Structure 1
Amino acid sequence: MSDLARPGLTACIITFNEADRIEACLASLDFCDEIVVVDSGSSDGTAERAAALGARVLTRAFDGYRRQKDFAVQQAAHDWVLCLDADERVTPELRAAILAARAAGFAAAGYRFARCTEYFGAFLRHGNAYPDRVLRLFDRRRGGWRGEREIHEHVSVDGPVERLAGDLEHRAYRSLADQLRRLERYAQLMAEHDQARGRRARLLNLVVNPGWRFVRGFVLRAGFLDGWRGLIYAWVEANYVRQKFIKLWLLNRGQRIA
């Protein structure tokens, strides 16, 4: 396919205080025709650094992960978009797969690929952490960041979805403290989301669900093959589930959780 007929591609990223990670993210996207960064008021120079690296930077007050990502997609100059977070990077193998799909004219409505999470100096390759396939490359005319949920948001498209080879690197946590802070916030957001939609937490949820998350990830999905990293990851994940249902239990009973 000639360059003139080749579909244009915009990378879309949302940021907040990611100055230490934005450069590596943008460098992995240098094959895209355009990079759009939507920043929600960073105070560490993220927006300035992204602009210096060639991204088109927009500022928008944060009102939810899904809304922020949808806004970024709508600002793209091209209908084909590749959505990343600032802590993610396209690997060479995934880059080659994306370029091959693009050269073939993007035959599907969207594409999924595996995401691998870096955890204490190594990438997790088992358990609930991997392959963690995500749909991030898609035709915005046929889908996008749909639904009402602002946490654990996801893309859906109307049409066929294919898988691409290669991994999206996810360098999610700067430290254990950073992970625990994030998951505590996510647990609150999910509890509030479920409460608003009438979901009720039961004692069984507080006891069984965290244990099931651990068993599923560490045993059934072989998280133990990641060694001590897999154990810690599975245990922290189970704790997130526990927090979510405790918070929902309290909200169901009119109690404050923050």
Structure 2
Amino acid sequence: MSKTKEKISALIITYNEMGYIQKCIDSVSFADEIIVVDSFSTDGTYEYLSAHPKVKVIQHPFTNFTLQKSYTLKQASHDWVLFVDADEVVSDALKDEILATINNNTDCVAYWFYRKFMFQNEPLNFSGWQTDKNYRLFRKSKVSFSDKKIVHETLNVNGKSGILKEKLTHYCYKNYEDYKAKMLSYGRLKAKEDFYRESPYNVLYMIFKPAWKFFNHYILRLGILDEKKGLTICYLNALGDLERYRELKKLEKKNELTYYLVMP
């Protein structure tokens, strides 16, 4: 008797991803279903997805990454889930490894993927991301997204994890303004995490942590070898850290003002 082929759901969240989403959808077309949750894009992303014959697209308001991905995970019909970002592409070699893995009686319930970062169409080989890895393939029934993070979300896994050999290609850098906006947005979300965890603003953190991030990624983790690309990425990543502490300061001041206004 032949073994039943495992089915897989490909999941993606989007907001204004034209220019990237087409490659991403094409690369996961081997999945048994493709579900995209879009947070009301204004650049044609939703219209493109709505017209795509292989895609089921749902619009859902964005609060934070954890809530959006948790909502998206619930939409999957199949237990095996491939969760990719809209600017990520699955190579043919990685596709083959994914299908072989889930159909090989694996005892792992989740898999880490290493990523190959692309600066526009050129690879970033250093700049702090040499060892970057994320959960991208897992059983829906064995995982949940931690509610302790709202950006760079964490997956709680009930079972054994593995690592795939082939890398996921991540087109992280579209242009300067796009990446800058992304880093500032991440910084503000991290500030909210700190605020909710009652982690207080510290002026020394605001001064030294962005400087340390730049030094660590550009010098210690060899961003300098990525030349101008590395300088740009390391600077903008450090800017995201600076925005984190600027926003945390604002949140604490706003909270103090609200406290005094409501005091009897």
TM-score (norm 2): 0.88
CA distances 1:166-217 after superposition (whole Å, capped 9, x unpaired): 2211113321011111211221121122112211122221222112212221
Cα root mean square deviation, aligned = 2.1
Verify the 8 A CA contact 2:206 2:245 in the aligned structure 1.
Answer: yes
Cα distance in 1 between the residues matched to 2:165 and 2:214 = 28
Verify the 8 A CA contact 1:93 1:165 in the aligned structure 2.
Answer: no
After alignment, is 40-49 or 108-117 more displaced? 40-49
Change beyond 3 A, Cα 1:112–1:253: same
Change beyond 3 A, Cα 1:121–1:19: closer
Cα distance in 1 between the residues matched to 2:216 and 2:180 = 21
CA distances 1:106-154 after superposition (whole Å, capped 9, x unpaired): 3301000112221143111113223310101111111032224222213
For the pair 1:213 / 2:213, whether they are aligned, the reply is yes
Which letter maps to 1:27?
Answer: D
Query: Gaps (5+ residues) in structure 2?
Result: 257-264
Alpha-carbon offset, residue 255 of structure 1: 7.9
Which letter maps to 2:34?
Answer: I
For the pair 1:123 / 2:156, whether they are aligned, the reply is no
Matches within 5 A, 1:183-198: 183-198=183-198
Change beyond 3 A, Cα 1:255–1:148: closer
Match of 2:112 in 1: 112
Alpha-carbon offset, residue 50 of structure 1: 2.1
Alpha-carbon offset, residue 247 of structure 1: 2.1
Match of 1:16 in 2: 15
Match of 1:44 in 2: 43
Verify the 8 A CA contact 2:184 2:239 in the aligned structure 1.
Answer: no
CA distances 1:204-240 after superposition (whole Å, capped 9, x unpaired): 2122211221222122222222122112211221121
For the pair 1:177 / 2:180, whether they are aligned, the reply is no
Which letter maps to 2:121?
Answer: G
Matches within 5 A, 1:137-156: 137-156=137-156
Cα distance in 2 between the residues matched to 1:254 and 1:222 = 39
Verify the 8 A CA contact 1:6 1:105 in the aligned structure 2.
Answer: no
Which letter maps to 1:56?
Answer: K
Which letter maps to 1:26?
Answer: I
Cα distance in 2 between the residues matched to 1:201 and 1:42 = 33
Cα distance in 2 between the residues matched to 1:253 and 1:79 = 45
For the pair 1:204 / 2:221, whether they are aligned, the reply is no
Moved over 3 A (4+): 253-256
What SS class does the counterpart of residue 199 from structure 1 fall into? coil
Alpha-carbon offset, residue 14 of structure 1: 1.1
For the pair 1:135 / 2:159, whether they are aligned, the reply is no
For the pair 1:35 / 2:34, whether they are aligned, the reply is yes
What SS class does the counterpart of residue 37 from structure 1 fall into? strand
Identity among equivalent positions (%) equals 31
Cα distance in 1 between the residues matched to 2:88 and 2:43 = 19
Alpha-carbon offset, residue 80 of structure 1: 0.8
Cα distance in 1 between the residues matched to 2:8 and 2:144 = 15
Alpha-carbon offset, residue 45 of structure 1: 3.1
Cα distance in 2 between the residues matched to 1:195 and 1:68 = 20
What SS class does the counterpart of residue 171 from structure 1 fall into? strand
TM-score (norm 1): 0.90
Alignment size in residue pairs: 255
Query: Gaps (5+ residues) in structure 1?
Result: none
Alpha-carbon offset, residue 249 of structure 1: 2.8
